[in-house]
Amino acid sequence: MRRIAVTFAALVILAGTAAHAQVPVGVATAVMPSPLGIALIMGKWIYDAVTKEEVYYIEVAGEGRTAEEARNIAFRVAIEQAIGSIMSSETEVQNGRIVRDEIINYASGYVDRYEITNQTSSSVGVRITMRVWVRRSVLSNRLLNRSEKIGQVDGSRASVQLATLGQERATGDRLVQTVLNDFPRRAFDIELKNTELKYGNRQGILEVPFTVTWNRDYLKSLWTALSTTSQRGSNPQGTVVITPGAWFAGFGGTATYDDVGKLQQVVGTMVGSRPAVLLTVKSTSNTVLFRQCFRWPELDHIDGYHVRPGRFVTVKPYGNTAIINGGFKLDAVAQISANPGLLATASQINADIVAGANCPNQ
Query: Helices 216-229 & 155-180, crossing angle to 10 degrees?
Result: 170
At 195-251, the pLDDT tens digits run 888 887 778 888 999 999 999 889 988 998 888 888 766 678 899 999 877 666 678
- Please list, residue by residue across 164-181, b when 16 or more beta carbons sit within 10 angstroms of its beta carbon and e when fewer do: bbebbbebbbebbbbbbb
Q: Where are the beta strands (DSSP E) in the chain?
A: 5-14, 37-39, 44-48, 53-64, 85-94, 97-106, 109-121, 126-136, 188-192, 196-200, 203-214, 238-243, 253-257, 276-283, 288-294, 313-316, 321-325, 329-338, 346-354
User: Average pLDDT in the 26-43 region?
Assistant: 59
Percent over 70 (pLDDT), the chain: 72
Least confident of 131-145, 285-299, 337-351: 131-145
Q: Give me the residue spans of the domains in the chain.
A: 5-174, 188-358
State yes or no: pLDDT of 312 exceeds 50: yes
User: Average pLDDT in the 22-26 region?
Assistant: 31
**What pLDDT is recorded for position 229?**
85
